[in-house]
Amino acid sequence: MAHRAPAIFVADALGLDFLNSIATPVDTTIEWLDDGEGLLNWLEQAKLVPSAALDAIRAQALPGELDRVADQARNLREWFRGFVGEHKGRPLPAESLAELEPLNRLLERDEAFSRIALRNATGTTGFELRSLRKWRTPETLLQPIGEALARFVCTEDFTHVKACEGPACTLLFADHTRGHARRWCSMAICGNRAKQAAHRQRLKAQQH
């Protein structure tokens, strides 16, 4: 299996991190969902699916089945990218609910359930209600993604959804900073590149 760079989680919102599963953080576009194994790796890094469930689905999947689900995940991602691109930077209007029907149809297929469990392994601190899911088929992998997108729509202020200002960067993020002044996906990537470019410009101006 080819080496895969670690996925990028800088959006401060998992729904946007999913959109960032294809990105050009520096110079080359990276696709983390290029096939079924890529989808499994991304879901594990995002902590959206338990490792045991991923292992079981990997072992039971028919040839090509996971690749087809990865294709569905990419289609879902690009549909949602269009929705975010249309609405980011301003409050989400009530009329946009109709546009979210494909996401609601995905959520309707979920097999989530709750279960009473011990709060910890020793059982000394009582019980808790845990949310679980039946992982019957590879297509079930789309459910936690849909849930993350739905939670993003319902909890984030679209006014503060931004695209990184890096010239070649395609990463999106939710600006939760004080004063909502965030400009970059990461100071370590695009922020530093912008500082270096500004420094070069100042040196060039001083030489003339």
Q: How many residues does the structure list for the chain?
A: 208
- Residue 126 falls inside a structural domain: no
- Report the relative pairing of strands 172-174 and 161-163 from DSSP bridges: antiparallel
- For the cut 70, the answer to whether the pLDDT of residue 150 exceeds it is yes
Q: Please give the tally of structural domains in the chain.
A: 1
Q: Which domain holds residue 48?
A: 14-90+100-107+138-206
- Residue 72 falls inside a structural domain: yes
Cα(192)–Cα(187) distance, rounded to whole angstroms? 6
**Residue type for position 122:** T
CA angle 11, 99, 9 (to 5 degrees): 10
- Residue 2 falls inside a structural domain: no
- Residue 195 falls inside a structural domain: yes
3-class DSSP assignment, residue 116: strand
pTM to 2 decimal places: 0.87
Domain of 36: which CATH number?
1.10.3300.10
Question: 73-132, pLDDT tens digit by residue?
Answer: 999 999 999 999 999 999 999 999 999 999 999 999 999 999 998 888 666 678 999 999
Cβ neighbors of 45 (< 8 A, separation 6 or more) are 6, 7, 9
- Residue 174 falls inside a structural domain: yes
Q: What are phi and psi of 157, to 5 degrees?
A: -85, 110
Cβ neighbors of 102 (< 8 A, separation 6 or more) are 79
Question: 153-162, pLDDT tens digit by residue?
Answer: 999 999 999 9
Whether residue 183 contacts residue 171, with contact meaning beta carbons closer than 8 Å, is answered with: no
pLDDT of residue 167: 84
H helix or E strand, kind and range, residue 132: strand 127-133
Radius of gyration of the chain (CA): 20
- Residue 3 falls inside a structural domain: no
- Residue 131 falls inside a structural domain: no
Cα(14)–Cα(149) distance, rounded to whole angstroms? 8
- Residue 120 falls inside a structural domain: no
pLDDT of residue 94: 96
Cβ neighbors of 128 (< 8 A, separation 6 or more) are 116, 117, 118, 119
